């Protein structure tokens, strides 16, 4: 047991050799976290061992369990941080593109106006925390946390590439959709708890809208899963690389999915839940200051998830046709997300808000049959042996 | 605790601080789910005793006050005031003044309608329309600045004419703005009128019949949208409108969409009127007077006159007692009357329709509450 040199303490193991490694495949953020801890913990252990030779703390610090625990915490932090930065970039993209479409400048603070969101975030943070006196206190706070929490959770669930993910279950997509579907319930609760008529109407509208648009979305998910033969996101992306992007055989599905995704992330033209013209701010009316700021952040996390789902299901995920995964597949994936988000912004700039009965008409009478048609096309292709 | 059938309905008080109200007024609506079953407009938050204040001022000092009746139709309101005093004095206006007033009125009408269209954009949830309309409006506000030195409260008409003649190159600037606007308006039409989502929000909502329009006393584009072919500029001409050839757009459906179309067409017609008036002004030599001298005191009598405001029929009733101050000046505001149609307009509509329907009234609280 001669712990003489530093190198014996700081050894960069293959993370997959770790006894507690939670995945079957390589995970980059986990590896980075493990390596970081092996460096820090190794240095610390070496120093402690110099002072008190042969102590048990030093060896515990670089044991598999501690490395694994740190790596998982690091994984969570890095995924949230990356998600946060991507969201800021999407907000910046939206404000900039929207500005140009409306013949104005958009954001201006910082290089290309990138830091405007930070300023706005700071502003909302410094606002007084106003809440109605006669609210339903428990539900008011819990519903808010759950709306934001579920939105952030799904955004972090989305893998950025085959090596950048949180969960790699065989039913990864179902998990994402399941959490996606939770929000309407919380929004309904939040609308009720504020004791405000506008919030109540907004909450009911949001729930109605989201529930009716989830159904065509799930049918489309079924067609993609049927075509790829798996619920695993990795498999779906690989299947698209092997054959072709699913936007080609399932073009109808792509269009319907984009419409549903805009509705699910409550954006114009389907933002009737917060229709500011008649409902002031909809179900968010009584959430002032930073609460509103966090709701906005949650909205963008949902938008990000919706874009990511479109990219995964129809646009080949992080793969490029003919090339496959590049050296930085995460970047390819994010660029595709920004490109899809451009469609969302475009719709926002050019369309008015749709009325609730018209939205339900579109959802049940147009999108629903179209998604079934898409499913039939997939079935025919599958039976014909094309895929 | 309410009981019985009332339990499923609730009153919502929209306003006075509400994004749809475009000013200080309240629309109380009773809703059954999303359907409006009862409505009641409440106005008066902006009452400032305008008519009483006028009784303590000499006649020329009321012109800037008339500007402040409506922020986006100041030109027509001060025109209306000057017109009623001129009728009381029984003076004939010089030609240049008459045509300059027409030009100023139509610039005002276009910028007022653009302000309305911008508000329609936000009411229907599209900010692009709002910004594009305000961008175009700037050109006409710039024309106001060139003509009178002010963007909104213009203080341009005078009793017996206008304050000043056209500045140098005004004609060129005006024609440029109009020609540019006629192209730009098509751009705005492309994202409003040619977008089926936009049209679907307006078609079939807020329907009024001709009988309702007559009984409620609704005037202006809201009236012409129900097939009533009446425009004071053509049927009871004032200033130089009698010598100008223009069409009065009339649509028969009586819903929000036809009111929308009427206003859009009116903007094109206003461009045409400006073009004709400018051509006519060219033929009148610059040496002609643009204003005549009038006595300070108005002879005793009562006078009523009306004018086609961008929002409807503006009317002023003047009682003069032979002094240099009016004994009584009563204003009939078109919006004050039109807003009384709020209940028939929103009954049976959905909550989401309320901004879309009420936007077609083009609320302006300055003149409503006075």
Answer yes or no: is A30 within a domain: yes
- What percent of chain B stands above pLDDT 70? 98
pLDDT value of position A44: 86
Q: What is the mean pLDDT of residues B164-178?
A: 90
- Token couple for B273: 């009127």
Task: Determine the structural domain holding residue B158 and report its residue range.
Answer: 4-369
Asked whether residue A342 carries a pLDDT value surpassing 90, the answer given is yes
pLDDT value of position A8: 67
Q: How far is B55 from chain A (nearest CA, A)?
A: 39
Q: How far is B65 from chain A (nearest CA, A)?
A: 32
Give the confidence band of A9 by pLDDT, cuts at 50, 70, 90.
Answer: low
Q: How far is A381 from chain B (nearest CA, A)?
A: 34
Task: Determine the structural domain holding residue A45 and report its residue range.
Answer: 18-78
Give the closest of B125, B132, B354 to A268, CB-based. Answer: B125
Asked whether residue B133 carries a pLDDT value surpassing 80, the answer given is yes
Helix (H) or strand (E) holding B308: strand B301-309
- Token couple for B146: 């060139």
- Token couple for A323: 């090339």
Answer yes or no: is A93 within a domain: no
| Cα(B30)–Cα(B36) distance, integer angstroms | 6
Query: Which has the minimum average pLDDT: A53-57, B34-38, B62-66, B248-252?
Result: A53-57
Q: Which CATH number fits the domain that encloses residue B109?
A: 1.10.645.10
Q: How far is A247 from chain B (nearest CA, A)?
A: 26
Please state, in angstroms and as integers, the Cα–Cα distance from residue B46 to each residue in A269, B363, B369, following that order: 34, 13, 5
Give the confidence band of B77 by pLDDT, cuts at 50, 70, 90.
Answer: very high
Please indicate if any CB of chain B lies within 8 Å of the CB of A277: yes
pLDDT value of position B302: 92
pLDDT value of position A6: 65
**Number of structural domains chain A divides into:** 2
pLDDT value of position B32: 84
Asked whether residue B24 carries a pLDDT value surpassing 60, the answer given is yes
Answer yes or no: is A90 within a domain: no
Please indicate if any CB of chain B lies within 8 Å of the CB of A359: no
Answer yes or no: is A299 within a domain: yes
Shared domain check, A39 and A173: no
A272 with B352: Cβ contact below 8 A: yes
- What percent of chain B stands above pLDDT 90? 31
Asked whether residue A329 carries a pLDDT value surpassing 50, the answer given is yes
Shared domain check, A356 and A218: yes
Give the closest of B10, B197, B350 to A269, CB-based. Answer: B197
Answer yes or no: is A120 within a domain: no
Q: Phi-psi region for residue B228, left (φ > 0), alpha (ψ -120 to 50) or beta? A: beta
pLDDT in tens, B91-114: 989 989 999 999 999 999 999 999
pLDDT in tens, A98-108: 999 998 888 88
> Per the omega criterion (within 30 degrees of 0), is the bond before A12 cis?
no
Residues of chain B with C-beta less than 8 angstroms from the C-beta of A275 = 125, 352
pLDDT value of position A1: 38
Give the closest of A103, A278, A356 to B132, CB-based. Answer: A103
Please indicate if any CB of chain A lies within 8 Å of the CB of B225: no
Answer yes or no: is A280 within a domain: yes
Describe the strand order of the beta sheet including B312-320 as a list of residue ranges: B301-309, B312-320, B326-332
Please indicate if any CB of chain B lies within 8 Å of the CB of A366: no
Answer yes or no: is A281 within a domain: yes
pLDDT in tens, A118-148: 888 899 889 888 888 888 888 888 988 998 8
The predicted model scores a pTM of: 0.87
Q: Sort strands B161-162 and B157-158 into parallel, antiparallel or unpaired.
A: antiparallel
Please indicate if any CB of chain B lies within 8 Å of the CB of A148: no
Q: Which of B289, B292, B307, B297 is nearest to B60 (CA)?
A: B297
pLDDT value of position A211: 83
B198 with A352: Cβ contact below 8 A: yes
- Token couple for B247: 């069409």
Residues of chain A with C-beta less than 8 angstroms from the C-beta of B198 = 351-352
Asked whether residue B3 carries a pLDDT value surpassing 60, the answer given is no
Answer yes or no: is A11 within a domain: no
Q: What is the mean pLDDT of chain A?
A: 85
pLDDT in tens, A174-186: 888 888 888 888 8
Q: How far is A352 from chain B (nearest CA, A)?
A: 5
pLDDT in tens, B259-283: 999 999 999 999 999 999 999 888 8
Q: What is the mean pLDDT of residues B58-66?
A: 91
B10 with A101: Cβ contact below 8 A: no
Please indicate if any CB of chain A lies within 8 Å of the CB of B123: yes
Residues of chain B with C-beta less than 8 angstroms from the C-beta of A358 = 200-201
A278 with B128: Cβ contact below 8 A: no
Asked whether residue B252 carries a pLDDT value surpassing 60, the answer given is yes
**Number of structural domains chain B divides into:** 1
Shared domain check, A216 and A74: no
pLDDT value of position A17: 78
B352 with A101: Cβ contact below 8 A: no
Please indicate if any CB of chain A lies within 8 Å of the CB of B28: no
pLDDT in tens, A176-235: 888 888 888 888 888 888 888 888 888 888 888 888 888 899 899 999 988 888 888 888
Give the confidence band of A3 by pLDDT, cuts at 50, 70, 90.
Answer: very low
pLDDT in tens, B136-146: 999 999 999 99
pLDDT value of position B2: 53
Please state, in angstroms and as integers, the Cα–Cα distance from residue A372 to each residue in A97, A247, A272, A366, A375, following that order: 34, 16, 26, 10, 5
- What percent of chain A stands above pLDDT 90? 14
Q: What is the mean pLDDT of chain B?
A: 88
Q: What is the mean pLDDT of residues B235-258?
A: 89
pLDDT value of position A2: 44
Shared domain check, A184 and A50: no
Residues of chain B with C-beta less than 8 angstroms from the C-beta of A198 = 12
Q: What is the mean pLDDT of residues A3-12?
A: 64
| Cα(A256)–Cα(A215) distance, integer angstroms | 11
Q: How far is A198 from chain B (nearest CA, A)?
A: 8
pLDDT value of position A238: 87
- Give ipTM to 2 decimals: 0.83
pLDDT value of position A5: 63
Asked whether residue A58 carries a pLDDT value surpassing 90, the answer given is no
């Amino acid at each position: 047991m001669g712990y003489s040199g530093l190198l014996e303490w700081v050894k960069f193991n293959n993370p997959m050799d770790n006894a507690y490694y939670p995945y079957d495949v390589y995970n980059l953020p986990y590896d980075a976290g493990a390596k970081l801890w092996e460096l820090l913990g190794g240095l610390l252990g070496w120093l402690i061992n110099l002072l008190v030779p042969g102590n048990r703390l030093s060896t515990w610090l670089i044991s598999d369990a501690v490395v694994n625990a740190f790596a998982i915490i690091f994984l969570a932090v890095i995924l949230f941080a990356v998600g946060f930065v991507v969201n800021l970039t999407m907000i910046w993209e939206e404000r900039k593109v929207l500005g140009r479409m409306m013949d104005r400048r958009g954001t201006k603070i910082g290089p290309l106006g990138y830091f405007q969101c930070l300023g706005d975030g700071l502003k909302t943070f410094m606002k007084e925390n106003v809440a109605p006196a006669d609210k339903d206190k428990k539900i008011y706070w819990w519903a808010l946390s759950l709306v934001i929490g579920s939105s952030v959770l799904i955004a972090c669930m989305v893998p950025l590439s085959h090596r950048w993910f949180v969960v790699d279950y065989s039913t990864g997509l179902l998990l994402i959709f399941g959490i996606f579907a939770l929000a309407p319930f919380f929004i309904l609760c939040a609308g009720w708890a504020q004791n405000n008529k506008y919030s109540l109407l907004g909450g009911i509208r949001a729930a109605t809208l989201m529930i009716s648009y989830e159904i065509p979305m799930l049918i489309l998910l079924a067609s993609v899963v049927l075509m790829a033969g798996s619920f695993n996101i990795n498999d779906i992306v690989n299947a698209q690389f092997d054959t072709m992007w699913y936007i080609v055989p399932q073009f109808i599905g792509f269009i319907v999915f984009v419409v549903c995704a805009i509705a699910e992330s409550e954006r114009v033209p389907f933002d009737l839940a917060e229709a500011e013209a008649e409902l002031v701010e909809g179900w968010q009316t009584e959430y002032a200051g930073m609460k509103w700021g966090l709701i906005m952040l949650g909205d963008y996390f949902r938008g990000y998830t919706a874009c990511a789902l479109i990219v995964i299901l129809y646009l080949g995920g992080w793969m490029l046709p003919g090339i496959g995964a590049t050296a930085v597949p995460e970047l390819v994936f994010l660029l595709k997300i920004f490109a899809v988000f451009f469609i969302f912004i475009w719709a926002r700039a050019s369309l008015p808000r749709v009325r609730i009965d018209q939205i339900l008409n579109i959802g049940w009478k147009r999108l629903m049959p179209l998604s079934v048609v898409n499913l039939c096309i997939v079935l025919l292709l599958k039976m014909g042996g094309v895929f | 605790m309410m009981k019985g059938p009332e339990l499923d309905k609730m009153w919502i008080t929209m306003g006075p601080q509400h994004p749809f109200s475009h000013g200080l007024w309240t629309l109380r609506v009773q809703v059954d789910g999303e359907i409006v079953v009862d409505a009641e407009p409440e106005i008066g938050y902006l009452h400032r005793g305008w008519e009483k204040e006028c009784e303590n001022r000499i006649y020329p000092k009321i012109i800037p006050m008339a500007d402040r009746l409506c922020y986006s139709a100041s030109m027509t309101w001060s025109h209306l005031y000057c017109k009623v005093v001129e009728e009381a004095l029984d003076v004939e206006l010089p030609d240049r003044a008459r045509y300059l007033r027409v030009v100023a009125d139509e610039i005002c009408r276009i910028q007022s309608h653009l302000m309305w269209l911008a508000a329609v954009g936000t009411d229907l949830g599209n900010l692009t329309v709002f910004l594009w309309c305000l961008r175009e409006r700037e050109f006409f506000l710039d024309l106001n600045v060139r003509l009178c030195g002010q963007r909104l409260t213009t203080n341009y008409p005078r009793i017996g004419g206008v304050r000043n003649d056209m500045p140098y190159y005004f004609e060129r600037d005006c024609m440029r703005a109009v020609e540019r606007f006629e192209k730009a308006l098509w751009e705005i039409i492309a994202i409003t009128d040619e977008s089926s989502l936009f049209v679907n929000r307006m078609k079939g909502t807020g329907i009024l019949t001709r009988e309702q329009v007559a009984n409620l006393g609704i005037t202006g584009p809201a009236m012409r949208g129900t097939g009533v072919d009446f425009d004071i500029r053509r049927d009871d001409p004032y200033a130089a409108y009698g010598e100008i050839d223009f069409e009065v757009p009339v649509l028969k459906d009586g819903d929000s969409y036809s009111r929308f179309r009427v206003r859009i067409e009116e903007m094109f017609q206003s461009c045409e009127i400006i073009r004709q008036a400018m051509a006519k002004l060219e033929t009148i030599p610059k040496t002609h007077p643009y204003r005549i001298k009038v006595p300070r005191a108005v002879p005793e009598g009562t006078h009523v006159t009306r004018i086609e405001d961008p929002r409807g029929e503006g009317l002023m009733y003047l009682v003069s007692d032979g002094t240099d101050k009016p004994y009584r000046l009563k204003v009939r505001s078109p919006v004050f009357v039109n807003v009384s149609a709020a209940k028939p307009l929103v009954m049976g509509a959905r909550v989401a329709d309320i901004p879309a329907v009420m936007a077609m009234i083009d609320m302006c609280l300055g003149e409503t509450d006075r």
